[in-house]
Amino acid sequence: MAKLFLVPTPVGNMEDISLRALRLLREADLILAEDTRTSSHLLSHYDIHTPMLSHHKFNEHQTVEQFSRRIQAGENVALITDAGTPGISDPGFLLVRQCIEMGVEVECLPGATALIPAVVVSGLPNDRFFFEGFLPQKKGRQSRLKELSELPVTFILYESPYRVVKTLQQLAQCCGEERRASVSREISKKFEETCRGTLAELIQHFSQNEARGEFVICVAGRKED
- Per-residue pLDDT tens digits for 19-74: 999 999 999 999 999 999 999 999 999 999 999 999 998 888 889 999 999 999 99
Residue 160 binned pLDDT confidence (cut-offs 50, 70, 90): very high
Query: Buried (b) or exposed (e) across 33-51, using 16+ Cβ within 10 A?
Result: bbeeeebeebbeeeebeee
CA dist 74 and 104 (Å) reads 10
Residue 225 binned pLDDT confidence (cut-offs 50, 70, 90): low
* Triad 68, 74, 77: Cα angle to 5°: 55
Q: List the domains of the chain with CATH numbers.
A: 3-108 (3.40.1010.10), 115-219 (3.30.950.10)
Residue 176 binned pLDDT confidence (cut-offs 50, 70, 90): very high
Task: Output DSSP code: residue 9.
Answer: B
Mean per-residue pLDDT over the chain, rounded: 95
Contact (CB, 8 A) for 57 and 93: no
Residue 223 binned pLDDT confidence (cut-offs 50, 70, 90): confident
CA dist 119 and 115 (Å) reads 6
Complete edge-to-edge strand list for the sheet that includes strand 77-80? 52-54, 30-33, 77-80, 3-6, 105-108
* DSSP-assigned states of every residue in 110-144: ----SHHHHHHHS-S--SSEEEEEEPPSSTTHHHH
Residue 1 binned pLDDT confidence (cut-offs 50, 70, 90): confident
* Triad 123, 189, 82: Cα angle to 5°: 105
Name, in order, each residue with C-beta under 8 angstroms of 22's C-beta and a sequence gap of 6 or more. Answer: 46, 48
CA distances from 7 to 11, 18, 177, 219 (A): 12, 10, 39, 29
Classify residue 161 as left (phi > 0), alpha (psi -120 to 50) or beta.
alpha
pLDDT score for 59: 87
pLDDT score for 46: 98
Amino acid 26 reads R
